[in-house]
Amino acid sequence: MVVGHLLSTSTFDLLVWTAIILFVARILSGGDQRLWVVVGAVAGVGLENKQLPLLLLLALALGLALDRRLLAVLRSPWLWAGAAVAVALWLPNLLWQATHGWPQLELAGDIREDEAGQNRVTLIPFQLLLVGPLLVPLLAAGLWALLRHSELRRWRALGFAYLCLVFIVLLTGGKPYYIAPLLLCLLAAGAVVAERWLRSSARAVLVGAAILAHYLIRPFRGRWFLRFLVLLPWAAPVALGTIAWLWIFESTLSVVNWSLVHLQTGPFDALGLDLVDPLDPPQWLGRPNLAMASIIAVHSWRILPFATVIFIAGLASIPAEVDDAAKVDGATGIKKLIYVTLPLQLPIALVALLFGIVFTATDITVVYILTNGGPFNQTQMLPMWAFQTGIRASSLGEGAAISLYLLPILVVVSITMLWFARRAEVT
């Protein structure tokens, strides 16, 4: 924010570095090789400002070398054309620097002499501060994905470039913010990993909703009553349903534990299975992993009816000709659901997933009633944290800041999901 509101050399540095990384990423993904000329033009303009783009270009070259793609890139004539453009644009500044005793290098030497130690110590913490504590897992996932994930193989050089740039800045004692533009690459890759994780974690709800909708749309006796039972969790007050789940998960009076204990002392014991200790049954809300699983189960129970309604509406919109064609091709039952219905329902499934994410991320009732954020804050969520900080601790400013922190995350998730839904539309 400071860089964006002050006209300084750092303002142009971040813009130039980000533009170079963007165009190089396009080239690495198989884009037009003529973009190297654009990279050269941007680098030349940036070198008129400061010589820092050389660090980025060096890191990218090392990243390509570690990815064993440097020789292939060097064979492109457009790369050398871009280098010529960069040198031509940089030449006036380079001549001026040479005739005036290299003042930028002198300034860089003074910074290294006075602040090198402090810069090296604060380099990694400053990277974490730039992205914020909540996005640190996304940053780490992005770096891991760029280096190890096969589907991001084309951009692996960017991951290596980040590591090389960190080493260069540590070696030279440069400013910690020099690496900031490359963090965007890691966050973008981490967003891909997060999107896949969210999609896989919500797969049970979506598949369950698809199966329920597939059978609830068929005419049979008692269909309306069954639909009513399916919709009941969504229609009932959240607090009332969660209190019922609190009784179900309660350690001493839990109906789940009662059933498990009787099964253990009966059939399980006869079969030689030792799954539950009758004297110490599972503490569903007292252990972090079980508490998290309980909250996920309740949220899935809440969202499933809503997703089912969306799927039923989507199934009603599929033309009858599609069903007839599927029957002619021999697709019936589960095969029809997997190969015909679900692909046509993908945009609707993504919308249902989007609403599920938004409803779950902004809900406070389930966590408040079941665990109150515990045990040991292992099930804490941003709305619950904002409530505890702003209302209970009477720190309204901090509580408001915590609640607003969720807004940009949900905006990014919403835009991403809607973009995927639009791409998945079948015309």
Q: Name the one residue in this structure whose structure tokens are 């990993």.
A: 193
DSSP, res 318: S
d(CA 47, CA 275): 67
Rounded to 5°, the CA angle 239-243-246 comes to 140
Instruction: Give the model confidence (pLDDT) of 265-291 as tens digits.
Output: 887 777 777 777 888 888 889 888 888
Report the pLDDT value the prediction gives residue 328, as an integer from 0 to 100: 78
Closest CA to 285 of 381, 201, 372, 202: 372
pTM of the complete model beyond 0.85 = no
For 84-93, 163-172, 328-337, 376-385, which range has the lowest pLDDT when averaged over its residues? Answer: 328-337
Q: Which whole-number Å values give the CA distances from 106 to 110, 111, 112, 165, 252, in the listed order?
A: 6, 9, 10, 22, 73
Instruction: Indicate the domain borders of the chain.
Output: 2-193, 202-250+285-423
Q: Which whole-number Å values give the CA distances from 98 to 53, 91, 94, in the listed order?
A: 18, 10, 6
In percent, how much of the chain has pLDDT > 90?
1
Around Cβ 138, how many Cβ atoms within 10 Å? 20
Q: What is the mean pLDDT of the chain?
A: 79
Q: Helical H runs in 274-395?
A: 288-316, 320-328, 333-336, 342-362, 365-370, 382-387
Measured N-to-C along each axis, helices 223-235 and 288-316 cross at an angle, to the nearest 10 degrees, of 130
Q: Which whole-number Å values give the CA distances from 113 to 56, 109, 276, in the listed order?
A: 22, 6, 65
Write the CATH number of the domain with boundaries 202-250+285-423: 1.10.3720.10
Closest CA to 123 of 41, 49, 182: 182
d(CA 289, CA 279): 20
Helix (H) or strand (E) holding 96: helix 77-99
Instruction: Give the model confidence (pLDDT) of 390-421 as tens digits.
Output: 888 888 888 888 888 777 777 877 787 777 76
DSSP, res 237: -
How does residue 203 score in pLDDT terms, banded at 50, 70 and 90?
Answer: low
DSSP, res 178: G
